[in-house]
Chain A
Amino acid sequence: MKRCLFWILVGGLLLYSFEVYAQKPCLNCHAEIKKQLQMGYVHSPLKKGECTVCHSSHTSDSPHLLKKTVKETCLSCHIKVKVKYAHLPVADGKCTQCHNPHASVNKWLLRKPPKQLCFQCHKKDNLLIGKRVHKPVSQNCLSCHKAHGSNYQFLLTTNIKEICFACHSQNKVGQIHKVQMKESTSCLSCHNVHAASGKFLLRQYVHQPYAKGQCKACHQIKNGEVCELRAKDSTLCLKCHPKVFAEKGIYNHLEVGLNQNPCLDCHSPHRADVRPMLKARPYRICLSCHQETKRRLFSASKKYRYKHPNVKNKKCLVCHYVHASNDLFFLKQGGINTCLSCHGKHIKFSHPMGEKAIDPRNHQPITCITCHHPMGAKDKYNVIFDHNKELCIQCHQIGT
């Protein structure tokens, strides 16, 4: 019995001494981490020498011998907050994309100062499209946006009007604007909050009736005041743009939209930075609804490894119509001709296609998209199946 107690005591002492010792010697080998201790901001577990809070000293399934994945490791101490809109790296659990897990010269262990850090992903060329830059943009993005997540769109700290009126006096704004601004009116409808080439950060392109001061073209005017819209649905727009309504097809974008007037899902009624009066660049508008396509485009999966150059360059409108089509994918000129408009030479050497080449799987004419998926496929040339064998045996049976 005594012998047993003795060995338990010895074992316990050994384990304790190992635990104490284990925290110290990490830095003996990891000299680059040791150097980081001199930086202004050090992660508290490292400061206390508690490397084993995050890392396993022996083996792990996660990189850097982390005990769990990066997301799980961070969230074991830092509380997760549920928000409507999460910043993409946060949602993907890529905390280390912005933060250094050990130490940094920047506050909150940021890899770079906040301003530089944001522009790492949000490219200046895309964001700052004019010479006149909004002051907070050149100072600190966090004056309007939240870094991790928010219940407001674009990760804003609060609703857009409150943000604007925090700096710009509401009375002054009211005096400058000739018409009474409504509750629902958004400053972003006319102003680009980041940068613009025009005065007052006004967006470049102007809707003709608005430019001419013909508010009554779209709005009702009562006692000289601009009131409600003349129609709440697409008839408002189609009255002046009848050609759009004339674009008929079994698939029609005019029939679907979160707005009561689906035109306003993509187009801005007053001012815009992108022609023709688009709310954003076309691909951004497309992907805001086509979530499955977005998932393919941004997926790192090998299944969607190869993508068409127009997809990579985000040029949706090179191949697709936007208003109406009889083609399932709104392809311009139908399936084959859409591709041939660029790949004209392929007709001379490619697999037979069209009415004379029937796919035995579904009795439909073979087209380019029978074998290729431009939005992302697993094999070279955007081929859906492995082009060495799997692709061919979809239709051509192998003799035994």
Chain B
Amino acid sequence: MRKGCLLIICAICLMATGLWAGVKTELDGVIYGNELVFNQPQFAFWDSGRQRLYIVDSLNNRLVSFNSQYKYISEFTAGGKLNLPIAMVRDDKGRIVVSCAGDHKVYVIYLKEKKILPLDFSAYHQRVIPYRLAFYDGYLYVVDKGKKCIFIFEPKAGGYSLKKWIKEKAAGIDDIKVRNGHLYVLDSLLKRVFIYSPMGNFERVIKLKGVVSPVSLDVDERGTLYVLDKVKGKIILFNPNGEMVGKFGKLGWKEGRFYYPQYLLLSGTGKIFVVDTGNGRVQVFDLH
């Protein structure tokens, strides 16, 4: 009887600490915006060089930056030119690249020169619905939700030029990340992760089991996939073979819980940023 009670108490403690599923996390910070709270934040970008966190605050048409202590630094609206921004990256030259849902365009913002130029898709000859972005080794990756393909832009003098596009049997690309020398593509409808080389050569596919609505992913240095399930309000971990190895998070409104989150980002220094869109905030977790 005593042993039974002890086992139950141990199980409760393990569940409370998150160890039950092999993951221990601790809430490190919650960001709601500045005086103006976020309205449908969609994306986060961690600039490890500058130690800055950028949040794409879509319905407020702005990019907001925070320091490593999650204190507000500044906001950027590109003179009111951002029309429903949904993703951004800051490249190695200090330029900001933003994709906007309002006018289906990707803008390259030259901060020093104070000019904004749209990314040139003319080589593709078709209408593009740009979505998420990634930046790796000088190359810019853009998801086109309309044609369900990924564009790879190579650096050229003063900007980018379209190098190639990857078009596979994806039904709905929701996120891309370039990590550990591989391009990871999350297909939310087929519930699969397609893995390519950074130049777009197909390598393999991982089927995600036990997920309902995966919307974002990231990969750590061991190759563990972190998949954000917006309906379940959970982050589910898969090993490189696609086996589930853990999960954490719970659906809800209080701090530490998620309500229809949209984006997940690993900082590379043991932090997980979750853009908790339904709750209008970004939550930062320490991963032990």
Binding site for B on A (CB under 8 A): 233-235, 238, 248-250, 252, 254-258, 260, 289, 291-292, 326, 328, 359, 361-364, 370, 394
Contacts and interface: CB of A to CB of B under 8 A. Distances in A.
Nearest first, the 10 A-B pairs at minimum CB distance are A255-B145, A362-B279, A256-B172, A361-B253, A292-B231, A364-B280, A250-B101, A361-B254, A258-B171, A363-B32
Contacts of A254: 129, 146
B13 interface: no
Q: Chain B: interface secondary structure?
A: loop
27 contacts: A234-B146, A235-B126, A238-B127, A248-B84, A248-B101, A250-B42, A250-B86, A252-B101, A252-B129, A252-B145, A254-B129, A256-B145, A256-B188, A256-B189, A257-B172, A257-B189, A258-B171, A258-B189, A292-B212, A292-B231, A326-B40, A326-B59, A362-B254, A362-B255, A362-B259, A362-B280, A363-B281
A363 B84 contact: no
Q: How large is the interface on B (under 10, 10 to 19, 20 to 34, 35 or more residues)?
A: 35 or more
Interface in B107-152: 126-127, 129, 131, 145-148
A248 B102 CA distance: 6
A364 B32 CA distance: 9
Contacts of A291: 212
Interface in B73-129: 84, 86, 101-104, 126-127, 129
Interface string B15-43: 00000000000000000100001001010
Contacts of B126: 233, 235
B277 interface: yes
Given A328-B277, A362-B281, A363-B37, A250 B254 contact: no
A364 B146 CA distance: 32
Nearest to B145: A255
Given A328-B277, A363-B32, A363-B280, A260 B148 contact: yes
Interface in B208-245: 212-213, 231
Given A256-B189, A257-B172, A235 B127 contact: yes
Contact of A292 (B127, B213, B253): B213
A248 B259 CA distance: 23
Contacts of B281: 362-363
Contact of B58 (A250, A252, A256, A292): A250
B248 interface: no
B260 interface: yes
A363 B145 CA distance: 32
A317 B95 CA distance: 43
B279 A250 contact: no
B278 interface: yes
A247 to B, nearest CB: 11
B231 A256 contact: no
A263 B37 CA distance: 36
Contacts of B171: 256-258
